[in-house]
Structure 1
């Protein structure tokens, strides 16, 4: 299978780039003693788990199906968390998870009897401090429903759990900011943490970002772990797959209304939803900051504001030309949808030996089946 023969749109995961991130994860583990579990809410493309499994300790989830997927396709430790479990949800995952983390004290009280003797029990705490670039993704935002606030905690609850989870970072590339959050947690909850076996510090710590001081992060994690006598976990998602994957598209038309728009055979609404949700423009491999030819890279959906970015190019774009929308792994494939009945991107992996491996492809039957299975007539 050759790249030039592949039909767009498609995702291409680069094994070598993925391994480069995983080697940094391995170093962090060795220096700090922290365990790392892959956040499936960010990336669940299990066709490349064979690459990731040797480096990480397991998976963590945000819903019952993710728990099952982690258990069946990844192995290692399977952590189960949800903002709101039904009793059926808890019964569905209790036998296959190693740790089950509740979001509230009321959920813990209602369902702990189902889990006891099967999995280690945890509770999510909200420290009231966080690092997040957007309020939409800020776990400590006003009126947050995520975790138990310090002034709401019943101290006796720590006698009935094995660990706690904090998730208070979103794309945090600042190791000093992270260690500041660690200090705040230690000061606020330290007496409680001393009674526990494990603490998860959640995800959003961007330790694979170029120039990130992994050794400094490792020292802080190790010191925290030793101070409170707990096994620490991090739940990386984006950090593992950042800069590993392109969404490859084709220019199908060029229209002009004051600005030129290159319309491609993909859409943020359907294939790269976070670009739209967070209003964070994508980056195009072929673009050039010094290019004289400016284009809006527009989606082929009917949503008026659906566009990937505005970019400059050294040469005019041509109909039929392929473009690579970079860094398109995190929160993309897990959010694909059938808006406008658009063709869903295929998923490939370029292995280290140059082989192109197909992981999945989608067709009309998948679209049709996602909407109804039976007719009422």
Structure 2
């Protein structure tokens, strides 16, 4: 089947592009000794795990269902982390996880007896420094609830831990900045880190970004591991799937009120939520920054400010024309919702041999089932 025959909206994952990112993952592992676990909070489309899992060491989670998904569909190591566990959560994930990481010392104290001798225990630490362009995504923001600060550590509670996790980056494209953060946490937490078997340095390290200084990253990771005699982990999400996936949409109307708006059969509120949350405009493959024709690419939702971007084009857009919203893999499919009862995008993968494989599609019954399963008679 040709892409032109597929009903929009849909996500198209490109296997070839995904494998190019995975080649860099493999280089990083081989040169630095680091282990990589896929951050399922970013990307959980398990229909392409057959492509990814041979290049990574396992998965990491932010909630119990992600733990289950990683365990069932990916294999390798399964890391379980949550900002807040219930006792039922802990009991559910312990049989499946290799590492159970708590966000606070109070949770560690409350539940470690359920996990000891069954899985390795870790604690999230907050160094008070980070690299994040927006406060919303900054784990070191004021009054952060994420992890234990140095002056809060109780040595008696820390004793008996196998590892620790830091997550202090968000789309960090600068290896030197990341290296400096490692130096800071070594100086601050070094005596504690020397007691551990492993340390996860979290995600947000954008090592597949074009022209990223991989040499500096490799040396920083090797030096950190040797200094503390630990196995180091990274938790890539965006780095694995960046620039692999398009959201393909169709122009269904063109209206004008000061500017021309091309309304498409999709919505950021429902299908590309981070565009709306972080106010970062999407990019359109067909756009031409030097073009004479400017359009707002607007969604078909009822939310007044719901738009993908403002783009220029070499030719006027037409109703029925398809547009490709680039880099739509991370934090999209995991956040899909049924706002306005809009049609949910299908999910496809284009394999390297050209075959288009359907991974999932949705219909009215899926929408209906998410809202109620039974009626009151």
The question of a shared fold, defined as TM-score above 0.5 by the shorter chain, is answered with yes
1:145 — aligned with what? Answer: 145
1:166 — aligned with what? Answer: 166
Runs of 4 or more above 4 Å deviation = none
2:306 — aligned with what? Answer: 306
- The 5 A counterparts of 1:169-184 are 169-184=169-184
1:284 — aligned with what? Answer: 284
2:195 — aligned with what? Answer: 195
CA distance in 1, matches of 2:140, 2:228: 23
Structure 1 spans left out of the alignment, 5+ residues: none
Partner of 1:280: helix, strand, or coil? coil
1:367 — aligned with what? Answer: 367
- The 5 A counterparts of 1:97-246 are 97-246=97-246
CA distance in 2, matches of 1:189, 1:328: 37
2:351 paired with 1:330 = no
CA distance in 2, matches of 1:160, 1:139: 26
Partner of 2:25: helix, strand, or coil? helix
**8 A contact 1:254–1:263 mirrored in 2:** yes
1:12 — aligned with what? Answer: 12
2:30 — aligned with what? Answer: 30
List per-residue Cα deviations over 1:324-343 (Å, max 9, x = no partner): 00000000000000000000
**8 A contact 1:28–1:215 mirrored in 2:** no
CA distance in 1, matches of 2:284, 2:149: 41
**8 A contact 1:247–1:328 mirrored in 2:** yes
Q: Cα distance, 1:155 vs. partner?
A: 1.8
Partner of 2:177: helix, strand, or coil? helix
Q: Cα distance, 1:216 vs. partner?
A: 1.4
Quote the RMSD (CA, aligned, Å).
Answer: 0.5
Q: Report the TM-score, using the length of structure 2 for normalisation.
A: 1.00
Q: Cα distance, 1:157 vs. partner?
A: 2.6
Count the aligned residue pairs.
Answer: 377
**8 A contact 2:62–2:81 mirrored in 1:** yes
List per-residue Cα deviations over 1:36-86 (Å, max 9, x = no partner): 000000000000000001100000000000000000000000000000000
CA distance in 1, matches of 2:281, 2:147: 31
List per-residue Cα deviations over 1:120-168 (Å, max 9, x = no partner): 0000000000000000000000000000011111122332210000000
**8 A contact 1:31–1:215 mirrored in 2:** no
Structure 2 spans left out of the alignment, 5+ residues: none
1:248 — aligned with what? Answer: 248
**8 A contact 1:261–1:297 mirrored in 2:** yes
Q: Cα distance, 1:215 vs. partner?
A: 1.8
Q: Report the TM-score, using the length of structure 1 for normalisation.
A: 1.00
CA distance in 2, matches of 1:3, 1:322: 11
CA distance in 2, matches of 1:135, 1:228: 31
2:356 paired with 1:356 = yes
- The 5 A counterparts of 1:255-294 are 255-294=255-294
CA distance in 1, matches of 2:95, 2:258: 60
CA distance in 1, matches of 2:96, 2:364: 34
2:124 paired with 1:85 = no
1:315 — aligned with what? Answer: 315
**8 A contact 1:269–1:276 mirrored in 2:** yes
CA distance in 2, matches of 1:119, 1:237: 24
